């Protein structure tokens, strides 16, 4: 019973980014205390992360299913 299937895909994606993509692709800094910021307009979710070391910004956007 390790799988938490009650969480939404969006929650799981945020969890993925929080854990897997905190290492800056530009300078290799691992932002352990930071995380992706997410915002949604109801149709898309935008994730944003700014490296505290070199300032490189990474963004992802995800279309939400509207069914
Ligand atoms: Zn960096």
5 CA from centroid of ligand 1 (Å): 34
Task: Find the 59 Cα to ligand 1 centroid distance in Å.
Answer: 14
C-alpha of residue 21 to centroid of ligand 1, in Å: 12
Give the separation between CA 66 and CA 5, rounded to whole angstroms. 20
Backbone angles phi, psi at 26, to 5 degrees: -85, -45
- pLDDT value of position 52: 93
What is the token pair recorded at 35?
A: 């995380």
Distance 41 CA to ligand 1 centre (A): 28
pLDDT tens by residue, 2-59 = 566 677 877 777 777 666 678 898 999 998 888 888 899 989 989 899 999 999 999 9
Lookup: tokens for 12: 């799981």
Cα 64 to ligand 1 centroid, rounded to whole Å: 29
Residue bearing tokens 């692709």:
25
């Amino acid at each position: 019973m390790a799988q938490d299937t009650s969480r939404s895909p969006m929650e799981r994606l945020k969890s993925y980014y929080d854990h897997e993509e905190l290492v800056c692709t530009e300078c290799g800094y691992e932002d352990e205390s930071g995380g992706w910021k997410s915002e949604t307009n109801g149709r898309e979710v935008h994730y944003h992360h700014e490296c505290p070391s070199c300032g490189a910004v990474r963004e992802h956007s995800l279309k939400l299913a509207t069914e």
